[in-house]
Amino acid sequence: MVGTTSVNTGVEGVEGGVGLTALLVAAARAIETHRDDALARDVYAEHFVLAAPASADWPVRLQQVPDGDANPLWGRFARYFGLRTRVLDDFLLRSVYTGGIRQVVLLGAGLDTRAFRLDWPAGCTVFEIDREGVLAFKHKVLDGLSATPKAARVPVPADLRDDWVGALAAAGFDTAVPSVWLAEGLLFYLPAAAETHLIDTVDRLSAGGSALAFEVKLDKDLMEYRDSPLYTSTADQIGIDLLRLFAREQRPDSAGDLAGKGWSTSVRTPFDYTRHHGRGPLPEQNDALAGNRWVFANKPRP
């Protein structure tokens, strides 16, 4: 059982920039966890938030937000992250149970705790790739909670801008068997060329029968939504200017590229899943979520 006491630890890797967004997502998952109608539950999320000085005073329950669901950041945006968590959880579990995959690779894993909170079948290995500082912070918090993974968990300290392929191979990844890959909240921080290289690399490392899910933004001009309440509230309330972190160049058609390599692909909007689950964000005016897409891809078996 996870207690309620936060863990004091260093914060190298999550103290600013893109690293700080990992704490934002953790706070959103914590808020979702405590909802009566939670789409996903992550009992570890609030402990990351409370352990880092940069986020220690952020809410981890909606009751701590004076305007509740009316707050663009901790209401609508946090619910978006809760929905995304649920949808990607379902994709991973479907891949391992229905597809028989036993290798799971989390690209830019951040403060993801799927190795600990999802019920994996026997024989699953979860590889978590991220910078050493991010993983070290996560380990200290989870170790302080005596958290136990439900699959073989293999942290892979590597920067996705460096030789993460070599690090993954050294950690025991097997290119001869199918794998399921997840790039959650990652690609829109990368230059277009880096996204293309990453997707090409995943294709090269994936045996037939593999699967991949990732999130992209297809806005023609991100600045069109610069006054969106999601962006302005995130900057005003917690000091994260997402538009400064996003790569603003034209995005590649990664789903199309995968289809051209023989993968079957499905591109969905988050709103599709809001309607499916009966809760979550719906379209609104001046919507920073308008260009968000979730892509699901499967590589055929030989």
Spatial distance between the Cα atoms of 223 and 148, rounded to a whole number of angstroms: 43
pLDDT (average), residues 266-288? 97
Q: Does the pLDDT at position 6 exceed 50?
A: no
pLDDT band at 5 (very low <50, low <70, confident <90, very high): very low
Q: Is residue 239 part of a domain?
A: yes
pLDDT confidence of residue 16:
65
Q: Is residue 7 part of a domain?
A: no
Q: Is residue 8 part of a domain?
A: no
Spatial distance between the Cα atoms of 22 and 48, rounded to a whole number of angstroms: 9
Q: Is residue 10 part of a domain?
A: no
Q: Is residue 4 part of a domain?
A: no
Spatial distance between the Cα atoms of 230 and 236, rounded to a whole number of angstroms: 10
Q: Write out pLDDT tens, residues 138-190.
A: 999 999 999 999 999 999 999 998 899 999 999 999 999 999 999 999 999 99
Q: Does the pLDDT at position 1 exceed 60?
A: no
Residue 224 CB partners (closer than 8 Å, separation 6+): none
How far is CA 35 from each of CA 28, 40, 77, 100, 181, rounded to the nearest angstrom?
A: 11, 9, 14, 32, 29
31: CATH:
3.40.50.150
Q: Is residue 23 part of a domain?
A: yes
pLDDT band at 18 (very low <50, low <70, confident <90, very high): confident
Q: Write out pLDDT tens, residues 90-136.
A: 999 999 999 999 999 999 999 999 999 999 999 999 999 999 999 99
Range of the domain at 287: 17-298
**Averaged pLDDT score across all residues of the chain:** 94
Q: Is residue 161 part of a domain?
A: yes
Spatial distance between the Cα atoms of 157 and 109, rounded to a whole number of angstroms: 10
pLDDT band at 267 (very low <50, low <70, confident <90, very high): very high
Q: How many domains does the chain have?
A: 1
What is the SS3 string spanning 4-72? CCCCCCCCCCCCCHHHHHHHHHHHHHHHHHCCCCCCCCCCCHHHHHHHCCCCCCCCCCHHHCCCHHHCH
The pTM of the full predicted model, rounded to 2 decimals, is 0.94
Question: What SS3 class is residue 235?
Answer: helix
pLDDT (average), residues 218-241? 95
Q: Write out pLDDT tens, residues 186-208.
A: 999 999 999 999 999 999 999 99
